[in-house]
Amino acid sequence: MSYMNPLEGLRTVDSEIIALAEDEYAAAAETAGIEVRTIHTPAEAAEASLLLDEVWSVDETGANVFEPSLIIAFAHAGNYVSAAYSLDEPDDMVGVTIGFFGQPLGTLMHSHIAGVRHQNIGRGAGSAMKLHQRLWCLNLGLTEMTWTFDPLVARNAYFNFQRLGVRMVEYLEDFYGQMRDGVNSGQASDRMLVSWQLNQPTRTSPSADSSLAAGAFECLRADGHGEPLICEVPKEATTVSLDIPSDIETLRGQDAALAGRWRFALRDALTALIADGWVLDTCLKGGTYLLHHP
């Protein structure tokens, strides 16, 4: 079956950039032991929907992350819908990614959702899936990808900023409203919108955390009881840090009220800094955001 490219002929990307993206995806997929393929059939959509439900623990709430019919509709309309499969078991779906075209058309892809089975987290599948999505976009002439993520999830923040080199676009307070899945239920759905320039190489090695954090003023940190503590930034400060819990998902299960206080503390501290002209640079391993004032 052939599928029409809705953006065909709008623009092209240099072949050397595409070749580099192909190599980066191939290396990441080999390391992760997966192959990423676009999906189209009802059977594939049904399996992808079940996988996303599993990742977001919807069995606890009865919600549904992504209906199979919507997955089919997105794919048929020419949007990005893919699944990652184990190289050892080619029919074993281990991850799903779905994105759609954004404005201005012909330049931007918004990656709406990406999920990896819990047992496959930490093996590089998420990185390979993102690199496949980038390659797909570049072949269409798209050079920018945006997505939102929960800024309290330290591992995602570290991956986005240190591995991919994204930049923050906007902090979105309670973006989705109340969510009913098992991961987000009962928490404000704050998200950070980030942008990734696809025609730039990804970082081969993250920057050294200790050197980046040296001398930064601690604007947000945990006190002796694990509570969030916001400190007023002195006028002479040029770099500030915002610490977040290293594993907010575990904390939510242990103390949802404390996790909620961290949500509002990060929201208050980060939005105040951004409004005052501070620029978010990166997030270090373990959960430390760094900002500078131009």
The domain spans of the chain are: 15-197, 209-292
Residue with the bigger pLDDT between 240 and 215: it is 240
- Name the pLDDT band for 1 (thresholds 50, 70, 90): very low
Q: Which residues contact 117 (CB under 8 A, 6 or more apart)?
A: 51, 54, 55, 94, 95
Q: Is the pLDDT of residue 98 over 70?
A: yes
pLDDT confidence bin for 2, thresholds 50/70/90:
very low
Confidence band (pLDDT; 50, 70, 90) for 175?
confident
User: How sure is the predictor about 248, in pLDDT bands with cuts at 50, 70 and 90?
Assistant: very high
Q: Which two tokens stand for residue 177?
A: 């409203």
Query: What mean pLDDT comes out for the span 85-109?
Result: 93
Higher-pLDDT residue of 6, 75: 75
pLDDT at residue 60 is higher than 70: no
Q: How confident is the model at residue 10 (pLDDT cuts 50, 70, 90)?
A: low
% of residues, the chain, pLDDT over 70: 89
Residue 121's pLDDT is what? 86
pLDDT surpassing 60 at residue 276: yes
Please report the pLDDT score of residue 230 as a whole number.
97
With cut-offs at 50, 70 and 90, classify the pLDDT of residue 4.
very low
Q: How confident is the model at residue 30 (pLDDT cuts 50, 70, 90)?
A: very high
Tell whether the model's pLDDT for residue 206 goes beyond 70: no
Tally of CB atoms within 10 A around 198: 23
Instruction: Extract the tokens encoding 136.
Output: 């797909």
Is CATH 3.40.630.30 the classification given to domain 15-197?
yes
The model's pTM is 0.89
Greater pLDDT, 58 or 218: 218
Q: What is the 3-state secondary structure (H, E, C) of 178-224?
A: CCCCCCCCCCCCCEEEEEEECCCCCCCCCCCHHHHHCCCEEEEEECC
What does the pLDDT average to over 231-255? 95
pLDDT confidence bin for 182, thresholds 50/70/90? low
